[in-house]
Chains A and B, each alone.
Chain A
């Protein structure tokens, strides 16, 4: 599939996807292909922790090969999705601390040393996310629906709309323009206010939450403007989904649409750096 000099090289490193508690009862780890399909996903147990890992060919993953590989969009997407799917498989049966893409060790001893040296920090980080998942919520605003409902919310717009319907010629034109301006102002204010309001409501059903940068349409794949791109650490998924459904019903009239993603490994709720 790729132009990689596949077999032949018996050199390999250890790719670390994430860390789980040593006692975690995991479903079939090998059910999902690893980033390097030649090798299975396995656990390396060290003390009270297990690393979710697989061997990777150094022909693909060492310092010399990687920069070029990262420039290959097809390679990158395949590996990133594999990384994510291995973790999602683990997530279905255990709490998992996700590592960033391309965390690779020269040999298993280095991996074990990391798990041993950082044990207390890793255990603390696992504790924070224990039995929790990350859910993503995106909010979009349909600006046409917003505009058509603006008259029901703003006294001034309602009045003007009534007058326009009776006015004629130049006067009607001017007043129509004025309504457009008012609607645009309303939308601008709405954009500012909606995200924090939605975020606060969702936080009520979550332990923690973070706001990510809203994605532009080319990235989100949706024409509507994204107002909110939030991630939430959720202990009770059903409760969170109910809160989301309530919110969606309440705010639909304003043109807000909500989208749920996940469950994700709690990428947004792990420490970036581990103080060992």
Chain B
């Protein structure tokens, strides 16, 4: 904290921010640095090194937020930003409370990536390249990327809070292209965490083999079915389904604007009793974890659905204040250039009792969506769509053949209520979630789940 902004500077900036009135003022300071590189055509390229420093100051007055941000952490610039944020206010000066430091230990990083020689990062990508290409003669291309970022943040506000965090994340991804004659298919896989280079101590090359395996499988794929049918969703990145169809609708800003299908449903059954789900910003080492959120609130494990009943929404400070609830540590922002909004951290469906095998065995004709390329939801209507990156037809209780180009489409409330089996397996995956023009790292997870009926959009009518 003291490294980013000194206490007396923070107090001066907050005083300046409230000089023309307001109920709340805050300064968020950040220093970030990162490195990304890629391998394509077996050549290391796109080596990019970045560094940024800056701060955002906001003043909240009578429900309106005034926000200004600047590059750099020069105390004069910070005061100027505070003056700009307060420029439109016309009320009497308010006094910030004296700052009291809250200590929250950052997540431990065993091997800070900045201290790891660049050659090891390049060697890691070469390993991914070899593993992916080695998966089969039909692998025509392999691209892989490596990214590391460290974000030191500090938050001080007029309620007297003074907190900081030091966050290091690393992530690798591999994308394979398989070709057989005119047939071209792709497969992708990622591995990431709120971790240092130690994340790659195991077998990181596995993700390239897995990406290549998916592309090869799809070479044998037929057209995807079209129509309504039972859908078994795979574990891990299958959790993006829950993230999109439920998680976003639980973010309190949508709820308070009446723009969520879950508004007014707290305490009601929204799923079958076999379903329990959490948002947990404290999972050690997970991609969506932080020690504090971007407003200084410690992150926490929040049960959002208990045995089918909706139990909680996800709050930042402002939305919590409106509902007279406690913030849940979900006030997140992409950088000092953005205002915090309620966002998920790591969201997952807790493991259930069914086995993936039994879930599939009970389906006469259906679809098995192992992994998604991504998804999108309109929280107001609950309509969602997901692109399936790896999917299979289920016939007579067995996985029969792979399918290309399938999309799942449906409505949140109906699909959530239609989950009729939750698997006893469990896996977390990394994602980058976009909302209000801001991207933040999120974790998604679950075991296999089965949705009784859902529309599969393919080309085979």
Q: Is this pair of chains taken from one and the same complex?
A: no
CB within 8 Å of B: which residues of A?
none
